[in-house]
Amino acid sequence: MADVSVRPARPEDAADIGRIQVLTWRTAYGEILPKPVLEALSEDEVAEVWSAAITSPTSPRHHVLVALEQEWTVGFAAIGPADELEPDDPEPATTAALAPILVEPRWGRRGHGSRLLAAAVDHARTDAMTRLITWIPEADDASKNFLISAGWAPDGLARGLDTGAGEIREIRLHTGLADA
């Protein structure tokens, strides 16, 4: 059996997280995101953003997690209190947002996404959260199917996201932590 785990991200993980995000977006979102957006991605710039999220989280309830297989960092997830809620959203004080959850394509189909999702749910529960939401590109069938298979469901909300090189449509999925 492979040596696999999920743990909180450390400052030295930021470069791997940046690499994974850029590679995964260029691979999985090649048909979803505009080409100029994908071409403009910089591993170093993305890593800087993740470094700040790891070393100076917005609150104690913001978490960055990494998935490992042996000594390789193969995926990551971020979770924290939701800040983009609708006025009629239930449980606003205890709703967390998952954004993103990514596994490098060559490490896919080995359970890393499921382990990351389970760890994110565990952190949310520890932080007294009762509900999770996430926004994903509407055309991202892989993420949608993965989350739905884990008990999430679309909640009917959609939005246009201006990428600077065109707009993509995103949908919001949600789950209650009692069900997750």
What are the structural domain ranges in the chain?
4-176
Tens of pLDDT, residue by residue, the chain (180 residues): 569 999 999 999 999 999 999 999 999 999 999 899 999 999 999 999 999 999 999 999 999 999 999 999 999 999 999 998 999 999 999 999 999 999 999 887 888 999 999 999 999 999 999 999 999 999 999 999 999 999 999 999 999 988 888 899 999 999 999 755
Distance CA 79, CA 75 (A): 14
Fold for 4-176, please state it: Aminopeptidase (3.40.630)
CB-based burial, 29-45: b 16+ in 10 Å, e otherwise: beebbeeebbeeeebee
- For the chain, what's the residue count? 180
